[in-house]
Amino acid sequence: MVYLAVRGVGLLVLAWLSAATDQSTLDNLRSWDGEWYLEIAAHGYAGVDPSMVDGYGHRYPETPMAFFPGYPLLIQAFALVPGIGVTGAAITVSLLAGVAAAYGLVRLGRRIGGSDAVGLLLVALFAAAPMSVVLSMAYSEALFCALSIWALVGVLERNWALAGLCCAAAGLVRPTAAALTAVVGLAALIAIVRRRDTWRPWLALVLAPLGLLGYIGWVGLQTGKPTGYFALQQRGWSSAFDGGVATTRFVVETLTSDKSVLETFTAWLVLAALVLLVLCFRQRMPWPLLAFATAVVALDLGSDGLMYSKVRLMLPAFPLLIPLAIGLAHRRRSTAVCTTALLVFFGSWFGAYSLTAWQYAI
């Protein structure tokens, strides 16, 4: 209920800004990457509309393969329900995945923070995070976050089958699964070395990388190059790891010159994420959560490409919100409610503004 209520506020703000700018709310919910996922779900990789192009306005035979198949496959499955359609199926999958993520967050919050209040605040903060609007769109973030959360629940609770299966599935949804695969694999190795849980950690160790390696291997076969996936990302979206050079340059230039509102907020949110990461270390959070958050932030901020997508791509780094949830849980109820409400409205505005008033991809 908390998750749905916060996302409901986000959708109301999006509808308001869409109406104010003479745009369709539904069109905004399926815009940008959503168009690619819907096309892949409806027609397969080979049948994507030829007019759709990459970040540089080009189109190659392998361009649609930049988008992983897990989310489109679920859209296809739900679209079989009479009357729902491809768009309705995509939004339904995101909605259900978000609810599943919320249950996992409550479980993590209760385990780490020691109370249901921490878990519920964590759900509210996650649902209200800047760019959380994509959790209600035809985007794969909600599904990937849900799978990542439950994979980490499996690691912390030593449920190796859950961890391995969720990690394998996440590997079919987003390339960020590399961070999750590393964490689950390392946790399984540690358990094996310490001779804990008999053969079960081996199950997670084998299952975890299957989805990611399987899809990247398939793209390699289609393109005739083992590194075909990374090559098409670099050529189409200039997405390659540069150690954070491009991100640092963007933040410095944005905060020292006359830039747009969205660029300025993006720069400050990048810095805020780094501060929250430091707080996670100071709080001595369980190492799998620390490692996952660090890896997601490093993969995001350490890559070049579109700077305007940085905040969205940090959404899976949900452990960053745990110190904030614990801090609010120990404050007066009025303070916690007012602070959370402020963050809800800011996050709702930021996502809606990005979709309705910003001309570049999110």
**Rounded Cα–Cα distance for residues 36 and 10 (Å):** 23
Q: Which of 129, 240, 124, 218 is nearest to 171 (CA)?
A: 218
Percent of the chain with pLDDT strictly greater than 70: 99
The widest CA-to-CA distance across the chain, in whole angstroms, is 62
Determine the pLDDT at residue 234. Answer: 81
**Rounded Cα–Cα distance for residues 177 and 275 (Å):** 23
- pTM (global) more than 0.85: yes
Determine the pLDDT at residue 56. Answer: 76
According to the 3-state scheme, what is the secondary structure of 214-257?
A: HHHHHHHHHHCCCCHHHHHHHHHHCCCECCCHHHHHHHHHHHCC
pLDDT digits (tens, 9 = 90+) for 320-353: 999 999 999 999 989 999 999 999 999 999 999 9
Give Cβ neighbours of residue 285 (< 8 Å, ≥ 6 apart): 112, 319, 322, 323
pLDDT band at 361 (very low <50, low <70, confident <90, very high): low
241 DSSP assignment:
B
pLDDT digits (tens, 9 = 90+) for 92-130: 999 999 999 999 999 999 999 888 899 999 999 999 999
3-state secondary structure of 346: helix
Positions of E strands within the chain: none
3-state secondary structure of 46: helix
- For residue 17 the two structure tokens come to 């800004």
* Angle, in degrees to the nearest 10, between helices 85-113 and 2-20: 130
Amino acid (one-letter) located at 174: R
Amino acid (one-letter) located at 221: L
- For residue 161 the two structure tokens come to 């089958």
Determine the pLDDT at residue 114. Answer: 84
Q: Which of 25, 50, 245 is nearest to 133 (CA)?
A: 25
pLDDT digits (tens, 9 = 90+) for 285-314: 999 999 999 999 999 999 887 788 899 999
pLDDT digits (tens, 9 = 90+) for 221-275: 998 888 889 888 888 777 778 888 999 999 999 999 988 889 999 999 999 999 9
**Which residue is listed with tokens 């030593």?**
158
The CA distances from residue 294 to 213, 282, 289, 302, 360, in Å, are 22, 13, 8, 11, 27
Amino acid (one-letter) located at 161: A
